[in-house]
Structure 1
Amino acid sequence: MSQTSDRPVLPAAHRELSFGARQRARYATMVLFFLVGMAYASWGVHVPTVRDKFHLDAAWLSAALFALTGGSIATMTVSGKWIARVGTRRACLVSGLAMAGCAALILIVPYYWLLLVVLAAFGGAMAALDVAMNAEASAVESALGRPIMSSLHGMFSIGGVAGAAAGGLLLSSGMTPASHLALAALVSALMLCAACPSVLPHVPHDEHPHASDSRVSHWRSPALWALGAVALIALVAEGAMYDWAAVYMRDVVGATPALASAGYAAFSGAMAAGRFGGDAVRARFGAAQLVLVSASIACAGMIGALVLPFTGTALIGFAMMGLGLANMMPVLFAAAMRVKGVHAAEGIAHVAGVAYVGMLLGPVMIGGVAQLTSLPIGLSVVALCAALVAVIGPNVLKRLGI
């Protein structure tokens, strides 16, 4: 029996909104996705700065990065209930301002232990904002009556590119790293304050048309665990690509440093492009068909890159991986918010929390297999994950009525 609603029915507070108000909510959500991507990239360019400031070796730098990821995963286990209670507008504002404040502190804290605290708080605030804006995105998608989730995730990718590019330009022009992060935090806060008033009004769980009389705990929902398992497998593959694509290009393909970085760029660029096309495909063919075709493309691309380890074929394969993985999380988040009896924010938080474990484990898993065998064999795990998603994902979505 399906545990999701076949067609989303709008709550009264959203049915009464004008088309213009719904469109403004969409644009506000686009801004939220953009600024999170920008904020994450602005921090990302300073990983070497943190390493040099605190004189960290690889192990201690990894611990700092783990603090950020750990803070994110820990927050996702509890943020859903809070967002369901206060609403996405307030949750986005509070968590976004906390994220901006933590970002401004990263490079001015004097002690390493304090850096770990700030990074954990930064990751937690970003995770809460991530869940809240995805819950808002799902509500806006329902209000507009057409898929928009993938294009919103595309705005995250654009924000990442913009944040990295702006950071590089400002740093090369002489701005200090601490000043750059402070400026990025200020811009994020201003964008957040401008966007949040247009976010859809809060609807309590018991006023949702599909809320059940007896509310289901997200921890006991088989539907959410099934969606989370598919998302985890997908993010194992995605996380591995972020960390190992350039290494494969350099060590196996034998590419120059410039072309080695092009492997990562091909993956990321194709992912962004795929997200902007994903909504139209989902609207026409459905979520299950989109996941099947996308995962098959990703699997074929990874196999091609491994079987034919040449520069051109590897770049094409990595681009196919990016294109294939682009719409996994948008589709699964959209499905999570429609599980009956579970608030959208709690459903998304549950699926995201399970999935991000895959993002954390993916690079480590591939590294372990590569250490025991070789990097091509290690990356074959990525192809296997894509194949599993192609087999399992559509069946899960169909059984849930998506």
Structure 2
Amino acid sequence: MALFFASDLPYATWGIHIPTIRERFSLSDATLSLAMFAVAGGAILAMGPVGRWVVQVGTARAVRLAAWPFSLAIGTLMLPPSFATLLPLLLAFSIANASYDVAMNAQAATVEAAHGRPIMSSLHGMFSMGGMVGALAGGGLISLGVSPWLHCAAVGLFVLLATRLGFPHLLPEAPPTVTTSAEHAHHAGRRLWWIGGLAFLGLVGEGAMYDWTSVYMRDVALSPAALAAAGYAAFSGGMALGRFGGDWLRIRFGARALLTGSGWTGFIGVALALLLPYPLVALLGFTLMGLGAANMVPLFFVAASRLDGVPPAEGITAVSRLAYVGMLLGPVLIGALAHATDSLRIGLALVALAIGLIAVCGVRFLPAETAR
């Protein structure tokens, strides 16, 4: 839980300091987008080598090793003297973040298997809490006039400390099950691609909620300015609540029922917000979308870690790569569709479609052994 909490603090810190970086280097929107692409695109490009590296060194050791560049990158985020020198640092931050994230999730799959009961959703709930605390604490520090470089350095030290305290308690992972035939291996690889495709759809919706809820609340639901940001808060709150309850639901009903129920909950939430674009109804809809999206990624990671003959780190890496692509492309696709149709409601209908596909098709590709 400490590792998951610490993992999202640096990303939240980067997010709240994007305006700081823009002001410091006097960046245009187009130039600033290069920095955002370095953070997202670097992780996508690095996922293949990262997965092989984590398998080679082991998840526990990979967490410890990745913590150093991860902490150093966020700790020195405000030190580059120019935008040109900032970009390689952001790329290093992205690769280190991906390494830490993959190793941490693969280790979590090992811990869950040893624990004998579902814990993955609760761990991801701590990840969400880390982002929320990081954003709130960072905003408070900015309002108090704390120097951005000192804030970033403190976050870097926190990640190192959490990793150092947690490392002795991490578990060695069991070797992957050996497949019985080439056909069996091909079947596992194909199933892994389908799970990754589901993660892509899920992160299309999640990325859209991060980027478009405030705009929807302001421009479509015509909410007061003070309420516009509440759309994102409603989604995030629903997601945190859903994750902390997800393990109990998985024990009670099984992973397949949880995935189907999550998909329909998210679909109903988005449909409600789009069909009745009033502030309070939209907030309810975004909360339901958060509840629905909460347990999708944890379920997909568990499923990828339990495929016969696929090392957990490689399975999680493959799913993570497609999830990152969905997170990166989802908001862009929705923006393009909204621009082409002159309607953000039509653009966000893409989210309902993606989540609806998970509700209808997801259980076909979730391994039965993920159920408990």
Interval containing the TM-score (normalised by the shorter chain): over 0.9
Match of 2:299 in 1: 331
* Match status 1:212 vs 2:183: no
Quote the residue 1:223 is aligned against.
Answer: 191
Rounded Cα–Cα distance in structure 2 between residues aligned with 1:60 and 1:125: 23
Aligned to 2:356: 387
The separation in 2 between residues aligned to 1:124 and 1:92, in whole angstroms, is: 13
The one-character-per-residue Cα deviations of 1:41-78 (angstroms, maximum 9, x if unpaired) are 12211010011111111111111100000111112122
The 3 A distance-change label for structure 1 pair 107 and 194 is same
Which residue identity lines up with residue 11 of structure 2 in the other structure? Y
Kindly tell me: are residues 202 and 230 of structure 1, through their superposed partners in 2, closer, same or farther at Cα, counting changes over 3 Å? closer
Aligned to 2:290: 322
Given that 2:265 and 2:291 are in contact with CA atoms closer than 8 Å, whether structure 1 keeps it comes out as yes
- 1:182 matched to which residue of 2? 153
| 1:151 aligned residue (122, 139, 148) | 122
Q: Which residue of 1 aligns with 2:48?
A: 77
Q: 1:328, 1:143 → 2: CA distance?
A: 22
**Deviations along 1:155-190, whole A, 9 cap, x unmatched?**
001111111122122222221111110111111111
Alignment of 1:267-278 (within 5 A): 267-278=235-246
2:9 to 35, 38, 42: 38
- Answer whether contact 1:223 1:400 (CA < 8 A) is retained: no
2: distance between equivalents of 1:263 and 1:115?
32
Unmatched runs of 5 consecutive residues or more in structure 2: none
Contact 1:147 1:279 in 2 (8 A): yes
Structure-2-length-normalised TM-score = 0.96
Native 8 Å contact 2:264 2:292 kept in 1? yes
Residue 197 of structure 1, CA deviation: 1.4
2:178 alignment partner AA: A
Per-residue CA deviation, residues 140-161 of structure 1 (Å, 9 max, x unaligned), is 1100110000000000011111
Which sits farther off after the overlay, 35-44 or 365-374? 35-44
Q: Structure 1, unaligned stretches of length 5 or more?
A: 1-29
Task: Give the equivalent residue in structure 2 for 1:14.
Answer: none
For 1:11, the equivalent position in structure 2 comes to none
2: CA distance between counterparts of 1:81 and 1:154?
Answer: 27
Match in the other structure for 1:17: none
Could you tell me which residue of structure 2 aligns to residue 96 of structure 1? 67
Corresponding residue pairs, total: 369
Q: Secondary structure at the match of 1:56?
A: coil
**Identity over the aligned pairs, expressed in percent?**
49
**TM-aligned CA deviation for residue 101 of structure 1:** 0.2
Structure 1 position 212, deviation (Å): 3.0
Structure 1 residues 122, 296: closer, same or farther in 2, change over 3 A? same
Aligned ranges 1:288-367 → 2 under 5 Å: 288-367=256-335
Give me the whole-angstrom Cα distance separating, in 1, the residues matched to 2:22 and 2:172.
43
Instruction: Give 1:202 deviation, angstroms.
Output: 4.6
Q: Distance in 1 between matches of 2:158 and 2:192?
A: 35
CA contact (8 A) 1:297 1:323 kept: yes
Q: Distance in 2 between the 1:41 and 1:157 partners? A: 10
Is the Cα contact below 8 Å between 2:47 and 2:317 reproduced in 1? Answer: yes
Which residue, out of 240, 244, 251, partners 1:283? 251
